[in-house]
Structure 1
Amino acid sequence: MIRYALTCDHDHEFEGWFGSSTDFDDQQGRGLLECPLCASKAVRKQIMAPAVAGTKRTMREELPAKAQAMMMEAAGRIRRHVEENFDDVGDAFASEARAIHEGRAEDRGIYGQATPKEVRDLMEDGVPVAPLPPEPLKKSEVN
């Protein structure tokens, strides 16, 4: 995997992980890359120093505070979009996702709860699922 520091035409900075050095060019050429904050498709690589093996660092130490804040903001936007536009099916998520996948229910966006086993079974059967980003921390929960 290769990590690139990226920026959009609105100067939002973020990073992307790619399987090889040509994957970035391929995805950019097909219009698949976009800024997680503003959805701009004008994404480019930033100049980066090569990664050198050294001491172990936690992800928190490696990511600048600005990047962490941007990631949390983007995750919050995704969560709000899902909650505002998708149907909450509660603990019936697994059965409803399967019914949609098999054409037995209306094709629509849903969210809800599922057990780890239900998620594994859905994934093994080719039903597309993804975890919903966590709720943002309340100011009272932050140090």
Structure 2
Amino acid sequence: MITFALRCEPAGHSFDAWFRSSEDFETQNARHLVGCPVCGTTSVDKALMRPAVSGTRRETGPEDAAKMMTALQQMAREARARADYVGPGFAEEARRIHYGETPARQIYGEASPPEVKGLVEEGIAVLPMPPLPEDKN
């Protein structure tokens, strides 16, 4: 779909209209099917349009990716400092907290993809944390 800025000839009313293509506009306009929504005239032509230019987009380079990973790792460190480690029992403990069977608190641990999917399906919010260099020690 293309949006055209249009203008009626007698009164100079400006308006926009959508067409499948430039040819579609030309065909409809030649058959007097395009009318001004203000005065109703079918004497319509394209008006000057400003180009639809999207904003500049900068590609993410290796340095940017490294900075983002460092920031994510720092957030993971802070989350771990405020949470209890529950190990491979994460999914079970998250359910117990969610259903009020144990006091609410922040936890982290390990869960398999099927376990994570099950938690999400139950409406339990989970987020993956990036690996930390110190985890390999």
- Alignment TM-score, normalising by the size of structure 1: 0.51
1:90 aligns with 2:90: no
- Do the aligned partners of residues 118 and 50 (structure 1) sit closer, same or farther apart at CA in structure 2, a change above 3 Å counting? closer
CA contact 1:89–1:111 (8 Å) conserved in 2 = yes
Query: Residues 1-143 of structure 1: matches in 2 within 5 Å?
Result: 48-49=55-56, 62-136=59-133
Distance in 2, Cα, partners of 1:96 & 1:137: 25
Deviations 1:18-67 (A, max 9, x none): xxxxxxxxxxxxxxxxxxxxxxxxxxxxxx4269xxxxxxxxxx312342
- Do the aligned partners of residues 101 and 66 (structure 1) sit closer, same or farther apart at CA in structure 2, a change above 3 Å counting? same
Distance in 2, Cα, partners of 1:66 & 1:96: 38
- Unmatched tracts of structure 1, length 5 or more: 1-47, 52-61, 139-143
4+ long deviations beyond 2 Å:
none
Three-state SS of the structure 1 residue aligned to 2:85 is: strand
Report how far residue 137 of structure 1 moved.
8.4
Q: What is the aligned partner in structure 2 of residue 40 from structure 1?
A: none
What's the C-alpha RMSD, in Å, of the aligned pairs? 2.5
Deviations 1:103-140 (A, max 9, x none): 111111100011111111111000110111122489xx
Distance in 1, Cα, partners of 2:67 & 2:109: 25
- Do the aligned partners of residues 77 and 89 (structure 1) sit closer, same or farther apart at CA in structure 2, a change above 3 Å counting? same
Three-state SS of the structure 1 residue aligned to 2:64 is: helix
Distance in 1, Cα, partners of 2:120 & 2:79: 20
Three-state SS of the structure 2 residue aligned to 1:88 is: strand
Percent identical among aligned pairs is 41
Work out the number of aligned pairs and report it.
82
